[in-house]
Structure 1
Amino acid sequence: MSGKFIVIEGLEGAGKTTAINTVANILKQNHITDLVYTREPGGTPIAEALRNLIKNGLEDEPLTPKAELLMFYAARIQLIENVIKPALARDQWVIGDRHDLSTQAYQGAGRQLDSQFMTILRENVLQDFRPDLTLYLDISPELGLKRARTRGELDRIELESLTFFERIRNKYRELAQHDSSIITIDASQTLEQVTLTIEQTIKTWLDYNANT
């Protein structure tokens, strides 16, 4: 098969890193070894600088919701044009830690930004570019944040209210329900159960794409 773009999505503490490793292992078992890993925001020098601003902010200047949104898209298009598209053109497979679904959930629902503005911006920046497959790791904000806290200090976004993350989860679920390229994984299961579910999902998806 030609190169594909697979994205892992979910709240903090959902287990994205474990999921990425699981997907990579299954691809390698199926002789797909030329893999590129990306994260958003980030993945290029400019995008990484924007990531630092988004995650940590500046002490003497609050970051407004719209500025945050625009910074995400600036970082994203740098990554798409300079890393993801060239990799796919070389028939490499790209595994992404977050993509545009995060922005629809976090900035659209979490920050409660205008949906029409969000749509216009997304369509103009991304046009028809989208992942081939997205695995959404569904977890309650309470459990996810509890897990995230065990990793250490939380960043600016992770310190938001529980209500903020509840809006995000609801938006993720809504988007996944109406998009067949998004598969929901119950991330509240044990690590072994989540890993097995992801393995089965990727194997089924690979078999389907190999025969179409």
Structure 2
Amino acid sequence: LILAQKDMGTAIHYLAIWLFMIFMSKLKDKWILRVSCLGGILGIGGLAAVYKYASEDGASYKIMRIKSYIDGLFFGNYSDDYGYQVKQSVYAFGSGGLFGKGYANGVQKYSYLPEIHTDFIMATFGEEFGIMGMFVVVGLFFALYHFIMVTGRECKNYFGKYLALGMGAQIITQVIINIFVAVGLLPVFGLPMPFFSYGGSAMVTMGIALGLIHNMNVE
């Protein structure tokens, strides 16, 4: 249903949550390995097919975005149309260096990177606080994920355990996807950064998730 609404980014995020929960379940390791290998082969084959099709006339916008991602990742060639946001984002991280330019001293937010307050918010953060600032933020998110997993393990019923696992996966996969998109390691999906990106519905969703986790912990 989400794909029918042409929101591929959210559909991929839900798939990532589902796969994460499958891998963390009691499924045998050999089946996880088989699925991982099959997924890797299909993924590489799919990207190769998309890249070949993108050279033909009439390729869709999503196909061209994936082609731009492959060109940027493997050849360092970011186009000025489909790859413009990623190119400017990479510039932001590169100019930030190790410790960044300092709070409010970034320049990408001045219309160089469009809508930087949404999906590419970490580009301006990396520019102003550098790689060390990014390590701090990622570390805090993984600490939050760890606390959620501890709450899930201590829960007395399996529904609560898998609910905590799913909510932890929701947060950590969204963080990983958002940062990987910002540095050009994944195609642009359009997923916000939890607790950073502008948007009321995302903040409400994350607040509800953490509230449920807290309620499990209290019980």
Structure having the higher strand fraction is 1
TM-score by structure 2 length? 0.24
TM-score by structure 1 length? 0.24
Q: Compare CA radii of gyration and give the structure with the larger one.
A: 2
Structure having the higher helix fraction is 2
